[in-house]
Amino acid sequence: MDSSSLSDQYQRRFQASADYRDQVWKKILEAQLQSLVGEDQIVLDLGCGWGEFSRNVAAKQKFAMDLNADAASHLDAATEFLHQDCSQAWPLAENSLDVVFSSNFIEHLPDKEALERTLEQALRCLKPGGRIILLGPNIRYVAGAYWDYWDHHIPLTDKSLAELLSLKGFEVCHSVDRFLPYSMSEGRNPPLFLVALYLRLPMAWKLFGKQFLVVARPLAK
């Protein structure tokens, strides 16, 4: 999919809920994810979309990568935008990143080979002791609804992703099969106080969670 098509797709899916999504990401970071990212660390937001994560995460240096050129206009001034195909060589030095983060993106890559190449780049760029943090729909729980999005290509579960990461030189250190509900692009926007409550009640994740959270580290380089 080219950049202009991506721009149109993002507008259709996210424009109406853009402000709400930003507030939700603040809650997610506050409750769960900021603890995985040090404020003194260098972070890449992979498949950054409209920058909800990179805009709200506290970090020393931030990069954001996306094939959609319009993504740049949604990033804050502290974030350097990398406009490219993530399965091609990243313009970052070896061992230069502390964290690679990606949410609801890797399932959109065109095929498994593209995902493998992307993880190879992540491994090359992560420092020893760094981490990759991946969120996405767990097809074990969303089943046929996964295919309601035209640009979903790679069906994944927490276990299949963990296996792939191990094959690509990572060690999974934390895995949650049910984390977030499935989607924020269909108009179901619960009040933010309920979002905050949900994030602090892992028992509720077992009822409503349909996305995995997988965290992995590079094996000793």
Average pLDDT over residues 66-92: 96
pLDDT over threshold 90, residue 183: no
Kindly state the tokens that stand for 50.
């409209």
From the number of C-beta atoms within 10 Å of its C-beta (0-12, 13-18, 19+), residue 73 rates as exposed
Euclidean distance between CA atoms 145 and 44, whole angstroms: 29
For residues 213 and 174, is the Cβ–Cβ distance under 8 A?
yes
Residue 3 confidence (pLDDT): 53
- What are 192-216's pLDDT values in tens digits? 999 999 999 999 999 999 999 999 9
Residue 220 confidence (pLDDT): 80
May I ask the CATH architecture of the domain 3-218? 3-Layer(aba) Sandwich (3.40)
Proportion of the chain above pLDDT 90, given as a percent:
86
Average pLDDT, the chain: 92
Q: Give the phi and the psi of residue 130 in degrees, each rounded to 5.
A: -70, 180
- What are 9-34's pLDDT values in tens digits? 666 656 557 889 999 999 999 999 99
Residues 6+ apart with CB under 8 A from 16: 187
Euclidean distance between CA atoms 199 and 31, whole angstroms: 6
Closest-CA residue to 102 (of 114, 113, 79, 86): 86
**Residue 102, strand partner residues:** 134
When pLDDT is cut at 50, 70 and 90, the band that residue 181 belongs to is very high
Closest-CA residue to 56 (of 73, 39, 71, 69): 39
Domains of the chain, by residue range, sit at 3-218
Residue 175 confidence (pLDDT): 98
